[in-house]
Amino acid sequence: MKIGFIGLGIMGKPMSKNLIKAKYELIVMDKNPEVTKELSSLGATIAVSPAEVAKTVDVIITMLPNSPHVKEVVLGKNCIMEGGKPGLTIIDMSSIAPIVSRELAAELEKVGMNMLDAPVSGGEPKAIEGTLSVMVGGKTEIFTKYYDLMKSMAASVVRVGEIGSGNIAKLCNQIIVAINISAVSEAMILAQKAGVSPELVYNAIRGGLAGSTVLDAKAPMMMNRKFAPGFRIDLHIKDLNNVLDTSHNLGIPLPLSAAVMEMMQALKADGLGNEDHSSLVKYYEKMANITVGH
């Protein structure tokens, strides 16, 4: 099976490397020539446009920042629809607005092409390990056909429902992650301010009900002051924008999501948008005039 892969950023590059390890033939495209050169050295073919990718593959994976980028690749100049043929499948593994996934799928269906929305969770470490969680929306037969392909990058691949459902699941995921990081930050600040070692508190609570993947991934980053992005504040703001837009369209209030969104906006205003979302602790440090781990 010949695979196209468009978008080789923090997540896309390790995901595409795992496809190469799984012996898939890969044609890649990205605006960064250094990363395409790196993939070429591993055996991938380089394309210069989405249309060129679409001409020679059976399925295309897109891993892009947000809805406008995916729309441009699918429907814009030199796009997938221009180069592709009926029967081509697009697996969009970006995290975008569910309504956009549905709009794109409808346009693709008009020309006999298929789409799955299949956003991922796990950040860069799990992308490198090939242990991502994938939440998929789309037709059952298309999901089944490409399950093994997605599984080569992931520990878990679950069909949630029809097109758009994958991104609804991802928004739910991002709500829980954002609020969880906020709770971890509050706990670390409380321990530090009370004169109790945050590290010992972390070790004491991680085996109980407060234990979580987020706690284990983010508390050590906070304590060790390592905020290189596995998932940037800017990207989580993008996801929370999609969360709140979707919730407002549905007429439901999400007060905790809105509160964390404002915290992240404050960090962005302080120039921290490119740091990992564990930098949420810095919002609390600024208010409490104390630094975790010091």
State residue 246's pLDDT score. Answer: 94
**pLDDT-based confidence at residue 123 (cuts at 50, 70, 90):** confident
Q: What is the pLDDT of residues 105-115, one digit of tens each?
A: 999 999 999 99
For the chain, give percent helix, strand, coil, nearest 5: 55, 15, 30
How far is residue 285's CA from residue 179's CA, in Å, rounded to a whole number?
17
Specify which residues 132 forms β-bridges with: 154
Is the pLDDT assigned to residue 1 strictly greater than 90?
no
**Mean pLDDT score, 253-282:** 98
- Would you call 170 a catalytic residue per the annotation? yes
State residue 273's pLDDT score. Answer: 97
Residue with tokens 């709140």: 244
State residue 3's pLDDT score. Answer: 97
Is the pLDDT assigned to residue 87 strictly greater than 80?
yes
Q: What is the pLDDT of residues 141-186, one digit of tens each?
A: 999 999 999 999 999 999 999 999 999 999 999 999 999 999 999 9
Residues in the chain, total = 294
Whether the full predicted model's pTM is greater than 0.85, yes or no, is yes
What is the amino acid identity at position 2? K
**pLDDT-based confidence at residue 119 (cuts at 50, 70, 90):** very high
State residue 117's pLDDT score. Answer: 98
How far is residue 190's CA from residue 88's CA, in Å, rounded to a whole number?
53
**Could you say which of 13, 17, 126, 170 is catalytic?**
170
Backbone angles phi, psi at 76, to 5 degrees: -85, -155
Is the pLDDT assigned to residue 294 strictly greater than 80?
no
How far is residue 105's CA from residue 98's CA, in Å, rounded to a whole number?
11
Helices (H), the chain: 12-21, 33-41, 50-55, 67-75, 80-83, 98-110, 123-129, 140-145, 147-151, 165-193, 198-205, 213-224, 233-250, 255-269, 280-288
Q: What is the pLDDT of residues 183-221, one digit of tens each?
A: 999 999 999 999 999 999 999 999 999 999 999 999 999
Residue 40, H or E segment: helix 33-41
DSSP for 64-109, please give it: -SSHHHHHHHHHSTT-HHHH--TT-EEEE-S---HHHHHHHHHHHH
**Mean pLDDT score, 248-274:** 97
Is the pLDDT assigned to residue 103 strictly greater than 80?
yes
> 293: closest CA among 182, 202, 213, 229?
202
**Mean pLDDT score, 269-281:** 97
Q: To the nearest whole percent, how much of the chain has pLDDT over 90?
A: 96
CA of 103: how far to CAs of 53, 62, 108, 250, in Å? 22, 16, 9, 17
**pLDDT-based confidence at residue 230 (cuts at 50, 70, 90):** confident
State residue 193's pLDDT score. Answer: 97
Q: What is the pLDDT of residues 23-47, one digit of tens each?
A: 999 999 999 999 999 999 999 999 9
State residue 175's pLDDT score. Answer: 97
Angle at the Cα of 260 from the Cα atoms of 283 and 278, rounded to 5 degrees: 55
**Mean pLDDT score, 255-271:** 98
Ordered domains of the chain (ranges, CATH):
2-162 (3.40.50.720), 169-288 (1.10.1040.10)
What is the amino acid identity at position 62? T
Angle at the Cα of 244 from the Cα atoms of 239 and 248, rounded to 5 degrees: 150
Is the pLDDT assigned to residue 58 strictly greater than 80?
yes
State residue 293's pLDDT score. Answer: 87
What is the 8-class DSSP label of residue 24? -
State residue 128's pLDDT score. Answer: 96
Q: Is 161 left (phi over 0), alpha (psi -120 to 50) or beta?
A: left
> 170: closest CA among 105, 255, 239?
239
